[in-house]
Amino acid sequence: MNIMNLVNKGAFFLILLSGMFFTMTDCSNKAPLLPATPMVPVIDTYHGVQITDNYQWLENGNDPEVRHWSEDQNKYARWVLDHISVRGKIVRQLQKLYNEASPEYYSLQYQSGVLFALKNQPPKDQPLLVKIESPYDLSTEQVILDPNLLDTTGTTSIDFYVPSPDAQLVAISLSKGGTEEGDLYVYEVAISKCLEDVIPRVNGPTAGGDVAWSGDGSGFFYTRYPRINERPPEDIQFYQQVYYHRLGTLTEGDKYVIGKEFPRIAEIEFEASDDGQYVLVSVANGDGGEFAHFFLDPSGKWNQITRFSDMITQAKFGPDNSLYFLSHNNAPRGKILRLPAGRTGLSQVNTIVTESEVVIRDFLPTATKIYLQDLVGGPLQIRVLDKGGNFQKLVPLLPVSSVYNMISLGGDDIIFSNSSYIEPPVYYIYEPLKGDKIRTSLSVKSPADFSNVEVIREFATSKDGTQVPMNIIRQKGTKLNGDNPTILYGYGGYGASQTPGYNRTLSLWLEQGGVYVIANLRGGGEFGEEWHKAGNLTNKQNVFDDFAACAQYLINTGYTSTSKLSIMGGSNGGLLVGATMTQHPDLFKAVVCHRGVLDMLRVELDPNGEFNVTEFGTVKNRDHFKALYSYSPYHNVVDRIHYPDVLVTADENDGRVNPSNSRKMVARLQAATSLKGCVLLRMSSGSGHGIGSSLSEDIALNADTYAFLFNRLGVSFEDR
């Protein structure tokens, strides 16, 4: 059946719709037509409730009709965005912000006295893997792998890497086109040579992948997805298990280790002791925050130490091979437990750090210290404790800042990255004997100017009285006259916290008089597991209420007005802006939804959707279904409502959020909204969910986003 032939009579309406941009974008009458989007009703029944889905046919991305529809939508969006007069200026500014900055190092690992890191080096599209002998002397850097030389299209990226115990070899997962479907390669560090050992399907979207080397470096444990024909196609991204590979042997002969008893939605990570004698397997039950841990002792015996019900979210080895746990059992903000070496039962643990007012986000046991990385409602701090858990001091940090990549350098010395909203990342070494942090050469110098910018923390009152923090980034002296173009950003899910992070592109927005606001919504982890649970499963509506309250606060206090306010979010944050827009269509002028989860009744049927059931719930449960249906953005679009102007972005290679969510939402909005509205679908292919996307694609997406917002909020853009 040729679906497009069903609605020839819609052409007149589409001609009118295409004309709606003339006064908004300096466009001529040469705009291509939006594609006709037929309604093909399909009725699904959930717990006795019949729901008509008119655009289910758009779910099949392999259907030629769907591909043509997407191409035509993208062609139209491309024309509109390219005809926004300031887009060229924005591209030039973004290229300057990236290309004139110094390289940025991240994902550091320390092994046998050597630092390894991923290095962003604009204008190269993909980060490099490098070895650094001294963090104070970058002339000691050696490039181990430059993916840009492997693939000149810039779409092959490093998923993860793990050095061997002697730092002579490194295992690297590489994937293409943003798919995150990585194969594992082994490189000889000294000569940057790839060995013949290649293991397919080690990494995947959401569940990821990992490697743990044996103590002598002769082989490694790795995560393995089912191979073709081992399971049905619908199971190929599930049932992750652990195998062992000995270097120099064929992967077909690799030994199964553990995992057949793990859940279908298992997500596996490894933790190895410093001497390589012990291996810990962490198994997440999807994305809802439940973890179990399995321990391999030197005799080759596996022991299960924790279960999903134990509420232990992290486990790490100390230098003496004791195990340390971050537990949320009767401690929503976290406590630290210690299990002495050689013991395997939680009944034998000691509590060494009790719960406090701050939230323990991460921890690091060293020779005589325990370092705690704490969340204080969004910003972070580092506490230094002795091995008994007694507080000693705080590591000095930037005000209202974040800490990333805290790793041990041996003894009690650590290295970590510190940055804020307005200060670029710098790696520091902290030596407790000296009592202060020492700046290394691993720092970012950026042309972005934030010298006249300030960060204000204010609180909105949500529907149920909950106080919701907001971090308001603005130029000093900003007048509260309701005339400031404003972007309100949020996420609110999975216990993920919105911590202060440096974003050079914000300078472009702020220099034009814009205000940028980041909300710490429920569903995140800013105030511990209770804050997370208050915004997941059947409590998800709290997240949207929090976000709407933040928007209303910004209007009431004069930061902005409805005609100057936009909201933006991606992935789970795309769900956030989609739901908030459909519930409060008159509150915003513009919406940017990046790779959003938008059809909540069918999301668990997506290739990646089942991993999210422990966070969102399932339509198989009556109460979950009722909640999902009540806020699902796609199902709550109402005809003849004037919705805000909307830019929806998606990628055909996205393995985390099916792009059908975006296709269906755009079709529904275009059918429902008035001619004064604007709904654009920007489709790409090669950047996936954004993990591993090329620098050129990042610049293009940012340019489209800012051009759309400047245009819709009526901001004139001036070159700086």
Nearest to residue 239, comparing CAs of 225, 222, 218?
225
Q: Are residues 554 and 635 in the same domain?
A: yes
Kindly list the strands in the beta sheet with 359-365, ordered across the sheet, starting from the edge strand earlier in the chain.
359-365, 369-375, 380-386, 391-394
Q: For residue range 255-310, list pLDDT tens digits in order.
A: 999 999 999 999 999 999 888 888 999 999 999 999 999 998 888 889 999 999 99
Prediction pTM value = 0.93
Q: Which two tokens stand for residue 496?
A: 């993920």
Residue with token string 């012990």: 278
3-state helix, strand, coil in the chain (%, to 5): 25, 35, 40
Residue 308, domain member (yes or no): no
- The yes-or-no verdict on residue 17 having pLDDT over 70 is no
Beta bridge partners of 614: none
Residue with token string 């091979």: 321
Q: For residue range 438-488, list pLDDT tens digits in order.
A: 999 999 999 999 999 999 999 999 999 999 999 999 999 999 999 999 999
C-alpha span between 372 and 381 (Å, rounded): 8
Nearest to residue 50, comparing CAs of 597, 667, 601?
601
Residue 511, domain member (yes or no): yes
Q: Are residues 567 and 705 in the same domain?
A: yes
Nearest to residue 49, comparing CAs of 664, 719, 629?
629
Residue 369, domain member (yes or no): yes
- pLDDT confidence of 2, banded at 50, 70, 90? very low
Q: Which two tokens stand for residue 139?
A: 């002339």
Q: Are residues 545 and 466 in the same domain?
A: yes
Q: Which two tokens stand for residue 317?
A: 């080895």
Q: Are residues 498 and 645 in the same domain?
A: yes
Give the containing element (helix H, strand E) for 15: helix 11-18
Last residue of a domain, which of 415, 445, 475? 445
Q: Give the CATH number for residue 56.
A: 3.40.50.1820
Residue 317, domain member (yes or no): no
By the 10 Å C-beta count (0-12 exposed, 13-18 middle, 19+ buried), 58 is classed as buried
Nearest to residue 687, comparing CAs of 703, 701, 704?
701
Secondary structure of residue 580 in the 3-state scheme = helix
Q: Are residues 432 and 580 in the same domain?
A: no
Say which DSSP state 452 is in.
T
Mean residue pLDDT across the chain: 92
Contacts (Cβ under 8 Å, ≥6 apart) of 479: none
Secondary structure (DSSP) of 250-312: -GGGPEEEE-TTS-TTEEEEEEE-TTSS-EEEEEEETTSS-EEEEEE-TTS-EEEEE-GGG-E
At 345 the pLDDT is 82
Say which DSSP state 235 is in.
G
C-alpha span between 518 and 501 (Å, rounded): 10
Three-class SS of 153-213: CCCEEEEEEEECCCCCEEEEEEEECCCCCCEEEEEECCCCEEEEEEECCCCECCCECCEEE
633 cis-preceded (ω within 30 degrees of 0): no
Residue 368 φ then ψ, to 5°: -130, 10
Q: Are residues 441 and 453 in the same domain?
A: no
Residue 672 φ then ψ, to 5°: -95, -35
Q: For residue range 72-82, list pLDDT tens digits in order.
A: 999 999 999 99
- The yes-or-no verdict on residue 26 having pLDDT over 60 is no
% residues pLDDT > 70 (the chain): 95
Q: Are residues 536 and 658 in the same domain?
A: yes
Residue 529, domain member (yes or no): yes
At 551 the pLDDT is 98
The type of residue at 477 is G
At 24 the pLDDT is 47
At 674 the pLDDT is 64
Secondary structure (DSSP) of 492-525: --TT--------TTHHHHHTTT-EEEEE--BTBS
At 675 the pLDDT is 58
C-alpha span between 369 and 434 (Å, rounded): 14
Say which DSSP state 634 is in.
G
Strands 645-651 and 590-594: parallel
**What are the counts of helices (DSSP H) followed by strands (DSSP E) for the chain?**
13, 38
Q: Which two tokens stand for residue 674?
A: 């008035």
Q: Are residues 376 and 470 in the same domain?
A: no
At 77 the pLDDT is 95
Number of domains composing the chain:
2
Residue 630 sits in which domain range? 3-96+448-712
Q: Are residues 467 and 406 in the same domain?
A: no
Q: Are residues 458 and 576 in the same domain?
A: yes
Beta bridge partners of 426: 418, 443
Q: Which two tokens stand for residue 281?
A: 């397997």
C-alpha span between 400 and 393 (Å, rounded): 18
Secondary structure (DSSP) of 525-551: STT-HHHHHTTSGGGTHHHHHHHHHHH
- The yes-or-no verdict on residue 19 having pLDDT over 60 is no
Q: For residue range 216-234, list pLDDT tens digits in order.
A: 999 999 999 999 889 998 8
Q: Which two tokens stand for residue 78?
A: 């491309």
Q: How far does CA 304 lie from the centroid of its chain?
A: 30
At 298 the pLDDT is 80
As a whole number, mean pLDDT of residues 658-679 equals 87
Q: For residue range 645-661, list pLDDT tens digits in order.
A: 999 999 988 888 999 99
Last residue of a domain, which of 426, 445, 464? 445
Q: How far does CA 178 lie from the centroid of its chain?
A: 13
- How many CA atoms, within 13 angstroms, populate the side-chain half-sphere of residue 693? 21
At 480 the pLDDT is 97
Last residue of a domain, which of 421, 445, 469? 445
Q: Are residues 452 and 440 in the same domain?
A: no
Residue 36: CB atoms within 10 A of its CB come to 18
C-alpha span between 687 and 693 (Å, rounded): 4
Q: Are residues 418 and 459 in the same domain?
A: no
More confident call, 676 vs 633: 633
**Could you tell me the CA-to-CA distances from 517 to 470, 503, 512, 704 in Å, in that order?**
6, 13, 15, 20
Beta bridge partners of 569: 593
C-alpha span between 644 and 640 (Å, rounded): 13
To 10 degrees, what angle do helices 660-672 and 64-82 make? 70
Q: For residue range 368-409, list pLDDT tens digits in order.
A: 999 999 999 999 999 999 999 999 999 999 999 999 999 999
Residue 175, domain member (yes or no): no
Residue 285, domain member (yes or no): no
- The yes-or-no verdict on residue 424 having pLDDT over 50 is yes
Secondary structure of residue 564 in the 3-state scheme = helix
Q: Is-contact 368 468, C-beta < 8 A? A: no
As a whole number, mean pLDDT of residues 117-142 equals 96
Residue with token string 């002697």: 166
Residue 169, domain member (yes or no): no
Say which DSSP state 717 is in.
P
More confident call, 148 vs 434: 148
- The yes-or-no verdict on residue 575 having pLDDT over 80 is yes
At 23 the pLDDT is 41
At 458 the pLDDT is 97
